[in-house]
Structure 1
Amino acid sequence: MEKAVKNKVAKAVVPAIDVMFQALSEFGTKVVPPKKILKMLPELFDHPDQNVRASSKGLTLELCRWIGKDPVKSILFEKMRDTMKKELEAELANVSGLAKPTRKIRSEQEKELEEESVPETSGANTSEEAATDAPVEIDEYDLVDPVDILTPLEKSGFWDGVKATKWSERRDAVAELTKLGSAKKIAPGDFHEICRTLKKLITDVNLAVSVEATQAIGNLARGLRAQFSGNARMLLPVLLEKLKEKKPTMTEALSQTLQAMHKSGCFTLIDVIEDVRAAVKNKVPLVRSLTLTWVAFCIETSNKATVLKLHKEYVPICMECLNDGTPEVRDASFSVLTAIAKMVGMKPLERSLEKLDDVRKKKLSDMIGSSSDSVLSSGTAPITTSGAATSARGVADSMSMKRSAASMLSGKKPVQAAAATKKSGPSKSTAAKKTDGGSQSKASAALEIEDVEPAEMSFEEIEERLKSVVKAETISQLKSSVWKERLEAIGVLKQEVENLTELDKSAELLIRLLCAVPGWSEKNVQVQQQVIEVNTYIASTVNKFPKRCVVLCLLGVSERVADIKTRTSAMKCLTAFCEAVGPGFVFERLYKIMKEHKNPKVLSEGILWMVSAVEDFGISNLKLKDMIDFCKDTGLQSSAAVTRNATIKLIGMLHKFVGPDIKGFLSDVKPALLSALDTEYEKNPFEGAAAAAPKRTVRVLDTASSVSAGLFDGLPREDISAKITPTLLKNLGSPDWKVRLESIDAVTKIVEEANKRIQPTGTADLFSALRGRLYDSNKNLVMATLSTIGGLAYAMGPSVEKSSKGILADVLKCLGDNKKHMRECTLTALDSWIAAAQLDKMVPYIIVSLGDQKTGSEGRKDLFDWLSKHVSKMSDPSEALPLLKPSASSLMDKSSEVRKAAESFMNEILRICGQEVVGRNLKDLPSPTLAIVSERLKLSTVHEGFSESVKMVTTSMSLPSKAGLKNNKHGLNDRGSNVGKLVSQRGLPARASVTMVSTQDPAQSQALFNIKDSNKEERERRVLVRKFKFEEPRREQIDELKIDLFKHFREDVSLRLWNSDFKRQIDGIELLQKALPSSWKEVIELLDILLRWFVLRFCESNTTCLLKVLDFLPELFDILKDQSYMLTEAEAAIFLPCLIEKSGHNIEKVREKMGELIKQMINIYSLPKLIPYILEGLRSKNNRTRIECVDIVGYFIDHHGTEVG
């Protein structure tokens, strides 16, 4: 049969498959070894003949009846094309019931006759017959070939990696072993040294390394089975000892590995009795309880004979553990005793039960009673099964006619197959076509899918069918060995094709002709180009271009793309194919071609074409998950830099359509590639709806692609409903706070594993369970829940609004907490929610929260501040108008903070919607409230240019009028005079006026600084900085800095300072530098903002900008010294920790400038206060920082010895 299925003639292959199918269906896997069939099938799946492919599918379905669907899927599906997978998945739904052999070989028949001649004994024969009739269970392990993992492991640098000092290198080395060890069957070898190394790594100080090593052991146990026995015995004590680790990831990895060791037959519980005894006497209760839980699992998965041997050893251990002081250990011990009783009955426990008190006896008997009920219910299954099997056999015997493998397809019943066998083999397909009614409509869908693969057609047949379309002389010239004749002939053919009125009828035949003569192996470039142009013309002209034609041409065209001489015309041809059949189909076929092609240019140039195709057609017809997987597994893994760069461009183009969410799918890419991808993202910023409109359209919609694309908003979302188990939901309400926290963390982990892209399916119950945790007595759990809810909302997208069941109202109630950290967590959750569902959907919940007295003044103030930041981003700002009345009421709140925040928010709405609209919506307010609101709104228009969210400069603004200056002798308003008083209180001589510095641009008429409403003390209180120790600025701190910068600096300066281009930042510093001598008073008032901005520049890697800052700071400090100004504690806490930490810069010039700056600090900050900051630098992880700090301390001792002491 093996030789027959390799025959070149398809008519010989189909009967060979039918013979194997018949033998398998009648004799079963005991006689016909499935392993050999599984090896033959992959080649048959890609056979050019449609009947062969259909028969191979039928044979696969028959295999599923005998050995199960899962083994067949895992062994064969990875070797199939996607189309074949879909077809088989649909057919597998029709496979049901148990397969039983209907015939026996002669030796078995003789044995049966002998048994019949012996008189029956009481019941013995019945059980034997049942045993022989029982289906033979096939282990997938026996079906696959062993894989050698030792050789590739040596090449991967495993031994160097596990000895590395960096934990990440150790983890990656073990991860490679885990990956290789995931093979279903591992070839035997010397794994002793590897296991000794893993034994050390289990106890590694880094948790990630330890988890990875544990998982690797589990994989080796599954792949080696009995061959791993000795090593498993060596590793078991360490694994049991490691159960003391409380981290869920570690506990889960250990449990799975220990279970795998036992299930794989590495040892039995009898073999490891001493290790278990030692573990249940461990000082850590967690080790004792989890060891017993594992023992219970092992007993449940063992057979009765094994349990009969071991119960004498384990029952005393469990009885002793029933007296343990930890409830978990006692419960686990009860579980072991229950498992033993379930397997072998109550007899082994009778004596032990006498020693127990009544309470424990009752508990144990209850547990055993409930488990025995389940045993009884499950025990009825074999009886039913055997009955069904007997009846199935009877049906099979009555229909022992020959069937073909193809008869398994399209859900045909055996009766139909039997009827079809009255005709000869080849006529079966025609009989199927003649069936009418519903079966015909069902089969048509399958035929459409199969239509993608082109059937064989001889050249003589093509020539015969094209007689009326193409001249015989043209075809004969296309065969010529003289290239000029071929060129002339292809030119003539092109004219003939262009003159055809009904091109659709002949399109496929013409494509087949060109594939045959001159064919894709044509060497002459001119002829090649003409062939491609004819293909392009046909694809772009016909009404419906068959996908079979694309399959015929795609390999040849992709190879022409790799050739620079034919690249342009080949790329046009591919684009024409996309317009004809959809880019989804073309891309899917190209992935396989490009992966397997030996020419690297086919891959690199093909990917570059994909970049332009995505730009032209958009992503609506593409399966993004497949494309991302292709980019990760093939493009970015390529050894050729050209291919990697092309792949980066393709991912960058995807970013333009789907946005930053694509980064979640690429988090495991190498850091160097991630950096290159970030650069590419900047070149292709997310355009959203603007990018979605395609430049080119598909003439015939690819329904499969469009449907799949329509399910998702861009990137695929994962269905997590299977992971939201009843246990998880139950644990969210557990009385143990640790269990509740672990469950909340488990939800977060599920979301992260789905790349933060999930479907709403099955999440309604999860939101209900999380709602209860928002009222948890443990505040840390509430904050964790808020973070998880925010993550769920962001991952779910717009559909969260319907699935969340109004949980947003409960989230907003957390703003009433008096702890600031709790309110910050709530606002962070709201940020995630608004990113998913937009603010206009949240407005009804916010109105209720603003009117709720339990929200509290601090909560309302925070909510108004949050609204001010987000209201301008609403899709329709007018939808924020319902918030006006709650805001107006808050203008009369007893808290000044709430009044101020509400006023700021109303200014935002006024700016966005206009005074007329706002007035119309507030006219029915009570008179006192309306009067206050009107007054505030009039005041707000004066300062509209300096609102936090407003653009900083409007051309309508002008300098104060002369009349205004006359009213105030020094040209200052009340707030300006307050600033003067404030500055004088800080040790500076007060001046009569505040200098208004204009920029060098004469068109600018506004002051460089705006110190109105500055309130420096309030800012310093708001910016919480850890004293002495440096911490990187947090996101919220950066956002606050941006607001303050745009509020108090002129627009052109702010835009320069907050620009991502370092050149623009330098321009901003130069503007400040020029204004410094004449505007020292404003600079002092806004010094904390400047220092926070300098800290940001210190934390970035741009050296040019950093050097400019270091040139500016000495001038600034000299000005402060001249004015006898001393830094406040808050200003020092903002700036000094960063300056000290960064003084160990890797560039010598920067280090020198920072050292001089620290020495200059004593002019504006007392040395005794400065020294603690420098001493903190001695604890830095950066060696150069510590050296610099020691040098500076030495300098200060030399020059200011007494003060340092």
Structure 2
Amino acid sequence: MKVVGEKALAPFLGDLDSTRMEKVKEWCEKVEVVAQPGAAAAVPKAVASKTATSKTASAKAAPAKTEIKEEPKVTVSAKTQKVVKGVGKPRKGPEEGQRKTKTEAPAAPTFTEPFMSDDEVNGHFPDDVRDALANVNWKDRLAALDRMKEVVDTVPVQAVLKMLCRKPGLKDTNFQVLKVKLEMVERIVERGPVSLYSAECCLADLVDKVGDVKNGASAGAALSALARSVSLDYVSREVLVAAFAQKNPKNQSESLLWLSRAIKEFGLSIPVKVVIEHIKKGLAASNPAIRGASITLAGVMYLYMGKTLRMLFDGEKPTILQQLDAEFAKLEEEGATCPKPQSQQTMEDLIPRTDISGEITESLLNELADKNWKVRQEALQKLSAIVDRAKLITKDIGDLPNALRPRMTDSNKNLATQALTIGQALGAALGPNCTAHVRALGPGMLVALGDSKLAVRGAALACLKEWCSQAPLSSFFEGDTLRDALKMENPMLRCEVFGWLAVVLPECRGGLGAGDLTSLLPVLYQCLEERSAEVRKKAQDCLLPFMLNLGYESMARATSKLKASSKDNVLSQLDKVRSQLPAKAPPPQGRATIVRGGGGGTSGTPSGSRENLCSEDSDTTPRAPNRPPARARGLPAKGPTKVVPQKKEEEPEQGPLLANNNLKEIRFTYERALKVLKWNFSSPREEFYLQLKEQMVSANWAPPLVANCFHSDFKMHLRAIDMLSESLNESLGPTSANLDLVLKWLALRFFDTNPSVLLKALEYLQVLFGALAEAEYRMHELEASSFLPYLVLKMGDSKDTVRKGVHEILRRMCNVYPASKLFGYLMLGLASKNSRQRAECLEEMSHLIATFGTSVCDPAAALKEVAKQISDRDNGVRNAALNCVVQAYFHEGDKVYKLVGQLSDKDMSLLEERIKRASRSVPKERPQSAVFPSAQEETVMRKRARAATVTRPRSIGLELTVDMENMITEPQQQQQQQQQQ
């Protein structure tokens, strides 16, 4: 009672009469606790009354030293705190079994040791060292620490830590002495072993110094070492409690930031509920540093827990929720990933869930099945309130699934929509626990997909997606749930289900058993010949996802039971889809196999295959001078063995360098769904290189090409560009099919320092975009966004050759990518700190306006941004901005003065003078013959057509109008008619 408090023991002392209770309180006042209260606090509070009384009595009679050694030792696992029996006879009590929860696993015991008294600690160190550590002179204390280092390796950790923490301890005012002490704590703790007695004596002081300006990093390193030696679960609890018990905001914010780093290092082996309570305290703090650190810690936990964590903060203020959502969205955009948790417990064990089985009463279930729709509506509202209030619930929800399923197909469409919305919330609240209820609620969702009302189908699809995100897709195949739904002759249902399968099957490739999808093939083949065109289209869209999971042969075998006419139709469609399958990866080189000839000279594998060529070469080509001959290796020296000519060095590069497939669409789907890292960075990190390499291998790029692309030698990069050029010269198809990967790799080359690679890449890009323009190719937005921002960066390059090359590429890109979107990327380049880049962007924008007019941009927004550059300190930027506005003036006239917005008098005078000078210096075009009009005549005619009135030109040149053409051509036509008559 003295250690854990009267309140903690009150539930166990309720049966005692008043006399015995007074005795307990009397002995509680008399007893003296020798062990430190921090260490004793770690002992569980559930102690039987008899044990407490006997221990109290023995504490009075026995010497202090003996009492300490006989105390139960304490250990902490990554999950829970638990009593570990001492050196004496082990004892088991009923309390231990009662303390365990369903989610707890047996704790892995850590090091335990008796509590050391001061006399025992003193016996490990000389008197002069102990005296010097308490000396007023900091130099003496520093020298004592140096002498102490010589003996600490042979001294128990508890003794060292207690000596270091003696006054002034870790609160030493001299930063040099304090730094040495903290470094020694880290060293000793890492050496270990460390008990909770040892950890307790220094934890509070370490937290007190974690916010120190000079030694805060050392204190954090010592805490991390302590977490490694004991457990992050225990250390994180103590750190948070100690930090928020202080009034120093610096310590609180730094403690939260330390825990963020520790979670990344150790995994989420922390008490989630306790940490979230402290995060909420930090979010409510007035100090912005504490709020920022709390948001950072929440972001790190979000990497592990996902949207489940967001649900735990639903009750916070809107402003706090907005900040949390912004942090979570930033992490998703950056593609941040969490390291694998190092704890043995699963993530589900860490998430606090509420048991709502007591609230799912019999009366509520009866109301859900009531004939009166108003009663059913009230029951659904009650159920919605229960789920929303609990947020995260356990899997024990009673008979609710069977009662909720009929409401998903309620005749009242509003109630059906409401029930499906509740089902969606229920799936999010259950999390992975919803797997157990798929068989009960799945049919209701699937049948609702066939409803005639769009709102009901939308709610059913949202509910189905939520459950599919929480439960494995295979659970929807159990009990033939999906097959029974598709057997219903409902075109709407089949369209929705096949459309949903076409999306989810590529994402869970390999996660289904062959029998699951095979059971759906008869219905799928039937729908390929359905009367409804929409059903046929959705079924055709499912062929490729099915084939990615089952393979062509399995699907072809399943057509054997079809009629002859139907079989031919289905096989023809399967053959079309088969060409879209990714090609198999080439076999690993260097593995020798022997192809032996048979009677007809044939082999077990195709003779022209790449595998055979590699295999035979490994046996016919001598690898080393000491390799034994064929006879020595047990092979026949003569016989009908197939002979293959020795290959050249280049022969391993046989086959196409780039594969012509449709995997680009799958990559785009993954990018949109954020399944891969978003291609966005200021400087490429290692994970972007690894992801691109994996995508190239998956797209079946030739291994030599991939090796050259990611070689450390720049000469190999030049070779890779040559190989890409060879592929482009042979055919444009493979390059266009892999254009996103090609452009991403070239974007990485823009960050290289070797000029020869950069210039060669720019030359290749000019040829590439020229070929794409001839083929009338249209760039995808994801292709442009992964390449254009980095191309615009090179406009600020110091080399004139590079800048000219970039301008040429951008002008060729206008033939394959909308100039208006290209203009947007150039606008982003104006935010650069590089004045050369801003000037070049303005020059290119001026060219676009001159070529396409002001319709290439939003004049009101674009010209205001351009006009801001007129006041730039750099002369080149000013001139480029003025020229850009002048080009707009040629199209918009005096209206441009309103579009540029408010300018200073100096900038406005510069602009007016430039426009005036440019208007005078516009050269007049040379007159040309009307019989042989110039190639630019059509363009000028379109521009002239914008004018409200058409005036007669002064000359026959670029200003030739339709009226002038008629004046010339009509007399000629009349002359020809008279001659014919």
Equivalent residues in 2 for 1:627-666, closer than 5 Å: 627-633=275-281, 635-666=282-313
Equivalent residues in 2 for 1:1-12, closer than 5 Å: none
* Deviation for aligned residue 1:808: 0.9
Measure the CA separation in 1 of the matches of 2:231 and 2:59.
41
Match of 1:472 in 2: 127
Match of 1:369 in 2: none
**SS of alignment partner, residue 818 of structure 1:** coil
Residue pair 2:769, 2:809 contacting (<8 A) in 1 also: no
* Deviation for aligned residue 1:943: 7.8
Match of 1:758 in 2: 393
Residue pair 1:648, 1:677 contacting (<8 A) in 2 also: yes
How big is each residue's C-alpha offset from its partner over 1:1004-1051, in whole Å with a ceiling of 9 and x where there is no partner?
69868999xxxxxxxxxxxxxxxxxxxxxxxxxxxxxxxxxxxxx956
Match of 2:274 in 1: 626
Measure the CA separation in 2 of the matches of 1:623 and 1:667.
20
Equivalent residues in 2 for 1:687-698, closer than 5 Å: 691-694=338-341
Match of 1:723 in 2: 359
Measure the CA separation in 2 of the matches of 1:680 and 1:900.
41
**SS of alignment partner, residue 861 of structure 1:** helix
Measure the CA separation in 2 of the matches of 1:846 and 1:1062.
51
Letter in 1 for 2:411: S
* Deviation for aligned residue 1:774: 3.2
Is the alpha carbon distance of 1:739 and 1:910 closer, same or farther for their aligned partners in structure 2, counting shifts above 3 Å? same
**SS of alignment partner, residue 452 of structure 2:** coil
Measure the CA separation in 2 of the matches of 1:834 and 1:22.
50
Measure the CA separation in 2 of the matches of 1:666 and 1:933.
52
**SS of alignment partner, residue 661 of structure 1:** helix
Match of 1:863 in 2: 497
Letter in 2 for 1:49: V
Match of 2:767 among 972, 986, 1002: 1002
Match of 2:332 in 1: 685
Is the helix fraction higher in 1 or 2? 1
Match of 1:568 in 2: 217
Measure the CA separation in 1 of the matches of 2:410 and 2:60.
74
Residue pair 1:49, 1:456 contacting (<8 A) in 2 also: no
Match of 2:138 among 469, 474, 483: 483
Measure the CA separation in 2 of the matches of 1:841 and 1:683.
33
Is the alpha carbon distance of 1:947 and 1:921 closer, same or farther for their aligned partners in structure 2, counting shifts above 3 Å? farther
Are 1:541 and 2:191 counterparts?
Answer: yes
Measure the CA separation in 2 of the matches of 1:48 and 1:600.
36
How big is each residue's C-alpha offset from its partner over 1:894-917, in whole Å with a ceiling of 9 and x where there is no partner?
222211111111033335665455
Measure the CA separation in 1 of the matches of 2:386 and 2:482.
32
Are 1:1115 and 2:763 counterparts?
Answer: no
Measure the CA separation in 2 of the matches of 1:496 and 1:649.
41
Equivalent residues in 2 for 1:217-236, closer than 5 Å: none
Is the alpha carbon distance of 1:782 and 1:86 closer, same or farther for their aligned partners in structure 2, counting shifts above 3 Å? farther
User: Cα RMSD over matched residues?
Assistant: 5.8
Match of 1:26 among 18, 40, 43: 18
Equivalent residues in 2 for 1:843-992, closer than 5 Å: 843-844=477-478, 848-849=482-483, 852-876=486-510, 879=513, 881-882=517-518, 883-910=520-547, 915-916=552-553, 918-919=555-556, 922=559, 925-940=562-577, 950-951=666-667
Residue pair 1:815, 1:855 contacting (<8 A) in 2 also: no
Measure the CA separation in 2 of the matches of 1:82 and 1:663.
35
Measure the CA separation in 2 of the matches of 1:655 and 1:554.
27
**SS of alignment partner, residue 480 of structure 1:** coil
**SS of alignment partner, residue 666 of structure 2:** coil
Letter in 1 for 2:257: L
Residue pair 2:183, 2:222 contacting (<8 A) in 1 also: yes
* Deviation for aligned residue 1:577: 0.8
* Deviation for aligned residue 1:465: 1.5
Letter in 1 for 2:217: T
Measure the CA separation in 2 of the matches of 1:435 and 1:467.
24
* Deviation for aligned residue 1:496: 0.3
Residue pair 2:728, 2:768 contacting (<8 A) in 1 also: no
Measure the CA separation in 2 of the matches of 1:1071 and 1:843.
56
Residue pair 2:264, 2:339 contacting (<8 A) in 1 also: no
Is the alpha carbon distance of 1:439 and 1:728 closer, same or farther for their aligned partners in structure 2, counting shifts above 3 Å? farther
Measure the CA separation in 1 of the matches of 2:728 and 2:36.
88
**SS of alignment partner, residue 1003 of structure 1:** helix
TM-score, length-scaled by structure 2:
0.54
How big is each residue's C-alpha offset from its partner over 1:328-351, in whole Å with a ceiling of 9 and x where there is no partner?
xxxxxxxxxxxxxxxxxxxxxxxx
Measure the CA separation in 2 of the matches of 1:821 and 1:930.
38
Is the alpha carbon distance of 1:915 and 1:457 closer, same or farther for their aligned partners in structure 2, counting shifts above 3 Å? closer
**SS of alignment partner, residue 270 of structure 2:** coil
Letter in 1 for 2:227: C
Are 1:771 and 2:771 counterparts?
Answer: no
Letter in 2 for 1:614: I
* Deviation for aligned residue 1:536: 1.9
Is the alpha carbon distance of 1:563 and 1:852 closer, same or farther for their aligned partners in structure 2, counting shifts above 3 Å? closer
* Deviation for aligned residue 1:738: 1.9
Is the alpha carbon distance of 1:435 and 1:469 closer, same or farther for their aligned partners in structure 2, counting shifts above 3 Å? closer
Structure 1: runs of 5+ lacking an equivalent: 54-80, 95-406, 965-998, 1012-1048, 1095-1103, 1119-1147, 1153-1205
Letter in 2 for 1:624: V
Residue pair 2:439, 2:478 contacting (<8 A) in 1 also: no
Are 1:49 and 2:33 counterparts?
Answer: yes
Letter in 2 for 1:827: L
Measure the CA separation in 1 of the matches of 2:89 and 2:171.
47
Is the alpha carbon distance of 1:863 and 1:478 closer, same or farther for their aligned partners in structure 2, counting shifts above 3 Å? same
Is the alpha carbon distance of 1:22 and 1:580 closer, same or farther for their aligned partners in structure 2, counting shifts above 3 Å? same
Measure the CA separation in 2 of the matches of 1:895 and 1:1072.
47
Letter in 2 for 1:541: R
Match of 2:169 in 1: 519
Residue pair 1:959, 1:1005 contacting (<8 A) in 2 also: no
Equivalent residues in 2 for 1:722-801, closer than 5 Å: 722-755=358-391, 757-761=392-396, 763-801=397-435
Is the alpha carbon distance of 1:510 and 1:602 closer, same or farther for their aligned partners in structure 2, counting shifts above 3 Å? same
Measure the CA separation in 2 of the matches of 1:456 and 1:599.
34
Identity across aligned pairs (percent)? 23
Letter in 1 for 2:251: V
How big is each residue's C-alpha offset from its partner over 1:843-895, in whole Å with a ceiling of 9 and x where there is no partner?
35677446754351121112111111211111516646424343122212222
* Deviation for aligned residue 1:600: 1.6
Match of 1:507 in 2: 157
**SS of alignment partner, residue 470 of structure 1:** coil
**SS of alignment partner, residue 552 of structure 1:** helix
Is the alpha carbon distance of 1:874 and 1:1114 closer, same or farther for their aligned partners in structure 2, counting shifts above 3 Å? farther
Are 1:838 and 2:472 counterparts?
Answer: yes
Match of 1:558 among 193, 197, 207: 207
* Deviation for aligned residue 1:679: 3.9
How big is each residue's C-alpha offset from its partner over 1:1116-1144, in whole Å with a ceiling of 9 and x where there is no partner?
899xxxxxxxxxxxxxxxxxxxxxxxxxx
Paired residues, number: 635
**SS of alignment partner, residue 691 of structure 1:** coil
How big is each residue's C-alpha offset from its partner over 1:253-297, in whole Å with a ceiling of 9 and x where there is no partner?
xxxxxxxxxxxxxxxxxxxxxxxxxxxxxxxxxxxxxxxxxxxxx
Residue pair 1:594, 1:606 contacting (<8 A) in 2 also: yes
How big is each residue's C-alpha offset from its partner over 1:812-831, in whole Å with a ceiling of 9 and x where there is no partner?
12233333332222222211
Match of 1:1053 in 2: 781
* Deviation for aligned residue 1:692: 4.2
Measure the CA separation in 2 of the matches of 1:877 and 1:422.
62
Measure the CA separation in 1 of the matches of 2:14 and 2:378.
54
Equivalent residues in 2 for 1:1085-1104, closer than 5 Å: none
Match of 1:600 in 2: 249
Match of 1:802 in 2: 436
Match of 1:494 in 2: 149
**SS of alignment partner, residue 399 of structure 2:** helix
Is the alpha carbon distance of 1:946 and 1:529 closer, same or farther for their aligned partners in structure 2, counting shifts above 3 Å? closer
Measure the CA separation in 1 of the matches of 2:410 and 2:573.
41
